[in-house]
């Protein structure tokens, strides 16, 4: 007998107090975010996001930086064990990368797709496996939020107002209710939050 319950779609991203996932200088401006990435709270958060996931979803841009970086961490015996645990999971996980410009990437268990995110994730959640983690990929997360396909949100709230940059939650999203499943506050004021969609 097979389980007919759809796989859970989860998403992880860090945002500022004013809801931005980068600073005013654009996608490469991660100053308001990156300084909180290695705190104990952020590392514990990192451990939670992948514990039930078997598939990682990325946009091309963040995949190239993300997987490239974490592949080196997986091979580094001196890396923080929490970082290395995530890195090894990422290397071994199924990876789905959205791109309109490339057709392949040099990592094992990776496929590149050129199709609407909501369509692909709707199909993917009907397959067998654990959670599907949309990992720091706002270009994928935004259409999934618009289609109400996200079941769990892992957020790091960074205690800064960026004053410019790209917003995660934009006008026009369908209304939705969420239940707080976990919260933790770091020494610098960063907050790790886990929200489950109430359906």
Q: What is the mean pLDDT of residues 75-102?
A: 92
Residue partners of 152: CB distance under 8 A and separation at least 6: 8, 9, 10, 11, 131, 181, 194, 195, 196, 197
pLDDT in tens, 123-134: 999 999 999 999
- Using one digit for the tens of pLDDT, what is the confidence trace for 47-69? 999 999 999 999 988 888 877 78
Checking if the pLDDT of 112 tops 90, the result is yes
Which of 144, 108, 143 is closest to 125 using CA atoms? 144
> Residue 36 is encoded by which pair of tokens?
């909180």
Cα dihedral 134/52/125/192 (nearest 10): -40
Cβ count within 10 A of residue 123? 10
pTM across the whole model = 0.93
pLDDT for residue 3: 59
Ordered by where they begin, the domains of the chain are: 18-198 (3.40.430.10)
Average pLDDT of the segment spanning 110-117: 96
Report pLDDT digits (tens) over 130-154.
999 999 999 999 999 999 999 999 9
Confidence at residue 24, expressed as pLDDT on a 0 to 100 scale = 96
d(CA 97, CA 162): 28
């Amino acid at each position: 007998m097979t389980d007919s319950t759809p796989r859970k779609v989860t998403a992880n991203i860090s945002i500022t107090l004013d809801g931005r996932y980068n600073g005013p200088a654009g996608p490469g401006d991660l100053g308001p975010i990156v300084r909180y990435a290695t705190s104990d709270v952020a590392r514990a958060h990192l451990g939670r996001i992948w514990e039930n996931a078997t598939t990682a979803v990325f946009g091309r841009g963040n995949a190239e930086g993300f997987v490239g970086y974490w592949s080196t961490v997986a091979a580094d015996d001196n890396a923080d064990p929490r970082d290395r645990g995530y890195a090894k999971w990422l290397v071994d996980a199924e990876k789905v990368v959205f791109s309109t410009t490339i057709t392949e990437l040099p990592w094992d268990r990776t496929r590149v797709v050129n199709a609407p995110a909501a369509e692909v994730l709707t199909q993917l959640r009907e397959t067998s496996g654990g959670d599907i983690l949309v990992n720091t990929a706002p270009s994928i997360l935004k259409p999934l939020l618009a289609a109400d396909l996200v079941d769990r949100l892992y957020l790091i709230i960074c205690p800064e107002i960026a004053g410019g940059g790209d917003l995660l939650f934009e006008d026009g999203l369908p209304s939705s209710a969420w239940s707080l499943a976990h919260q933790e506050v770091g020494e610098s004021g960063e907050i790790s939050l886990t929200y489950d969609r109430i359906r």
